[in-house]
Structure 1
Amino acid sequence: MDESFVDGVQGKPGSGLIGNRKFVISKKNLAAQNERGGEENIATGWHAIEFLLWGQDLSETGPGDRSFEDFVDGKAPNADRRRQYLTVVTELLVDDLAGLVKAWAPATKGNYRARFEQGGKESVRKILVGLGSLSRGELAGERLEVALNSQDQEDEHSCFSDNTHRDAVNNAKGIENVWLGRYVRADGSTLQGASLRELVAAKDAALAERGTRQIAASVAAAEAIQAPFDREIVGAKDAPGRQRIQKTIASLTQQSKDLVAAANAVGITKLTLVQP
């Protein structure tokens, strides 16, 4: 994300949509500006909110350190627009999430869930494509490998809040949840249903068990990554932090291969995964 597309940054204090007082801050206008002129021009979504809350991460040992005074009239330029932007972009995120909830609402004729439940093997293929693509192309690739190779904190997933280490864990656990058909709610209760593991085990029990172990290994590897992530990525190839991240990448890469094998076991051969 190019922070200066949204707000002032070091060396460019008046930049961004917030600094452009002719730009009307509204849900419609922010949505229209998102990725306008380049994929780095992020105007909406969680990372725009993250930047507004934490500010630029200029520290090598911690997250961004934006002062609350950036939102107080008389304390910082454009404080009124910064408050307005944060309010509107957060409301827009809630709207988008509400649309997702509606799409997956049970017993709703014609919504995405209804079509998905009637999709048969094609729906199973979509699940496996999602898990495999998140495993290799997204988590191992875009969210870990890119930053590991560049050793630049600007390339970490949550570079403003320094929450990347938890992002990796929750991404890995999300894959495990779908594979096992299990989700532990915030109150500690467990939602359990049919699982891909069971589907694969009916055809190849050994493969299903291998996949389960590999996914668990990826979760454990991600949990071993230490905070702050931007310190883990620096140093020589054999630096402990870099080794922890590389171990996670290797596990996720093998995991994606196992998911392709699982797909083949249940008769799905056309599986195009997102690659780095």
Structure 2
Amino acid sequence: MKHVVIWLYSLLLLCIAGCDQAPAPAQPLPAAVDFTGDPATHPEKINDHLIHSALDSHIQACASAEALQNAITTLLDHPNPFTLAASRDAWRDSYSAFLRARLYGFLPVTDPVEWQRQGLSYHQTLSLIDSWPIEGGYIDYLPGYPFTGIVNDLTLPLSSDTLQQQHGFADPASVSLGFHVIEFLLWGSDGQRSASDYLQTETITAVAGSSSNKNTATHADNTADNHLNKDTPPGVINQDRRRQYLQRVTAQLLDHLRRLQRRWERETGYYARLVASSTPAAALQAGMSASARLIRTELLEKRLPGNSSEFSATSQQDSLALLQGMQLWLLGSESHPGALVPLLSTTQPDLLRQWQTTLAQALNQAPAPESNTTAEQQHTPSATAAITLTASVQQLDTLLQQTASVLRLTLPDTH
């Protein structure tokens, strides 16, 4: 694969004209921004910042996925309410870390033809990582339907190849891989999955036998595993296959995330080398175009009206993580100023302050649990919070257009 990438790299350059066009040996379209002025702004650092922020975000996504894998291993070694809760927390952290890297998938880069043929392009890989909405009954049992899903189809081997073949087999919602499959396996269709679903068969048999002994029943109720036995939903079967599926889908998720990270490695990564070979104006144009697509198509058209993390009831956190990723690119950190900081700090300080204030307001929409609500109410996203966050994102879209006008950039028409 490395030889293919190196060979294709000499033929393909960063394509600013639009996403998913056929590769062509054309130069990037020049951006209209004028970088004359204060030489201290060092506009060439825009390329470096784009590569740095993309690589760092993907490194963090992989590290969080490794933490998720470790938490799930602990859950399967010791299935109880505490390890299940830890796995759920790790899933939320991991998915948020991935979404903070999502911006860079909107860069108008054309993948090599060979990757597209092999199903390895960014958008093909994204489908294996983050397909939603999904049909939970395609994965595992639903209340009242204990024999549904891949888990309960004993004719289907749980190999990596088979799970990839089953992904989108009959319908886009027939999803067998990715974050939301793991989410369903950890929460269930109603957010109430019991950790007993992951007890090994021999453990269930042993616990059931011991609990039938009246002399040991009181002692058994004081242990986490026997407490699970009391709460096991009737009709839940195939725990061993469920365990195997959860392990397999988590391992494949990490493989797919690592594939994206490799493409942003500074010296060898295909995406990193394309950005490095572009002019600062072209890199800025690409990054601002990606920001526009993130706001308009991913947030306003898709995430905010939808329910992307429905099983865990944390969809609002998805939108916040996407905004955090955009904040890193636009405003950066103390050690790595963002793309807008050197361009606006001297000539447009008020506009820069608007960005800082508006992004801070949007990211302040974090959902807070209310102690006086029922579990069912907590599982339902707050309509008021969603409306408030949508309004903040619309303000960011307006601000993005104003900034593009100042910098004489053309944003893509995503409507």
Partner of 1:67: 194
User: Does the residue aligned with 1:11 lie in a helix, a strand or coil?
Assistant: coil
* Residue 107 in structure 1 maps to residue 267 in structure 2: yes
> For 1:197 and 1:248, how far apart are their aligned partners in 2?
25
Contact 1:17 1:23 in 2 (8 A): yes
Q: 1:95 to 1:191 in 2, by over 3 A?
A: farther
Contact 2:289 2:411 in 1 (8 A): no
State the Cα deviation string for residues 2-23 of structure 1 (Å, max 9, x = none): 1011111113221112222222
> For 1:162 and 1:243, how far apart are their aligned partners in 2?
15
- Residue 178 of structure 1 and its aligned partner are, at CA, apart by 1.6
Contact 2:288 2:411 in 1 (8 A): no
Which of the residues 324, 338, 360 maps onto 1:216? 360
Contact 1:125 1:271 in 2 (8 A): no
* Residue 168 in structure 1 maps to residue 319 in structure 2: yes
Which of the residues 10, 25, 49 maps onto 2:158? 25
> For 1:167 and 1:230, how far apart are their aligned partners in 2?
20
- Residue 145 of structure 1 and its aligned partner are, at CA, apart by 2.4
Gaps of 5+ in 1: 58-63, 147-155, 183-189, 236-240
Gaps of 5+ in 2: 1-133, 205-235
Partner of 2:387: 246
* Residue 258 in structure 1 maps to residue 258 in structure 2: no
> For 2:368 and 2:301, how far apart are their aligned partners in 1?
18
Mapping of 1:109-188 within 5 angstroms?
111-120=270-279, 121-146=281-306, 156-182=307-333
Larger radius of gyration: 2
Percentage of identical aligned residues: 25
Partner of 2:22: none
Contact 1:129 1:271 in 2 (8 A): yes
Partner of 2:65: none
State the Cα deviation string for residues 11-50 of structure 1 (Å, max 9, x = none): 3221112222222222222223223333222211111111
User: Does the residue aligned with 1:14 lie in a helix, a strand or coil?
Assistant: coil
The Cα RMSD (Å) is 2.7
Contact 2:330 2:338 in 1 (8 A): no
Which of the residues 268, 272, 276 maps onto 2:413? 272
> For 1:46 and 1:133, how far apart are their aligned partners in 2?
22
Contact 1:72 1:79 in 2 (8 A): yes
> For 2:289 and 2:331, how far apart are their aligned partners in 1?
16
User: Where in structure 1 do 4 or more consecutive aligned residues deviate above 6 Å?
Assistant: 232-235
Contact 2:328 2:338 in 1 (8 A): no
Question: Residue type matched to 2:283 in 1?
Answer: S
TM-score for both structures, normalised by structure 2: 0.53
Contact 1:260 1:271 in 2 (8 A): no
Q: 1:269 to 1:81 in 2, by over 3 A?
A: same
Partner of 1:206: 350
Which of the residues 162, 167, 182 maps onto 1:49? 182
Question: Residue type matched to 1:98 in 2?
Answer: R
TM-score for both structures, normalised by structure 1: 0.77
Partner of 1:84: 244
**Structure showing greater relative contact order (alpha-carbon pairs closer than 8 Å, 6 or more residues apart):** 2
